[in-house]
Amino acid sequence: MRFVLKRLGFNKIRSQKHETWERITDAGTVLQVRLSHKGKRDISKGTFNEMLKQAGIDKKMFRDLLKK
């Protein structure tokens, strides 16, 4: 997830209990995604879908960004 967020232009703005990643779109919308420090453990499906929603992308776009 961090790799994709970096590709989308997100910047890590906070790292305490959770990491907060932020990106300001061209339209001025602020997008924020919160990530847990779970390391390499799997993310639940619901949590993953919520992170995609916060980032403003869908699963297809996520997969495409991983392939680049």
Tell me what pLDDT residue 16 has: 84
User: Distance between CA 45 and CA 24 in Å, rounded?
Assistant: 26
Say whether pLDDT at 17 is over 90. no
Total domains, the chain: 1
Task: Look at residue 22 and tell me whether its pLDDT is greater than 90.
Answer: yes
Q: Which domain holds residue 19?
A: 2-67
Q: What angle do CA 5, 60, 57 make, to 5 degrees?
A: 45
| Structure token digits, residue 14 | 């906070």
pLDDT digits (tens, 9 = 90+) for 41-54: 788 899 999 999 99
- Alpha helix locations (H) across the chain? 2-7, 45-55, 59-67
Question: Stretch 16-31: mean pLDDT, rounded?
Answer: 94
The overall average pLDDT reported for the chain is 92
pTM, two decimal places: 0.85
Instruction: Name the CA dihedral angle for 40, 36, 30, 56, rounded to a multiple of 10 degrees.
Output: 50
What band does 39 get if pLDDT is binned at 50, 70 and 90?
low
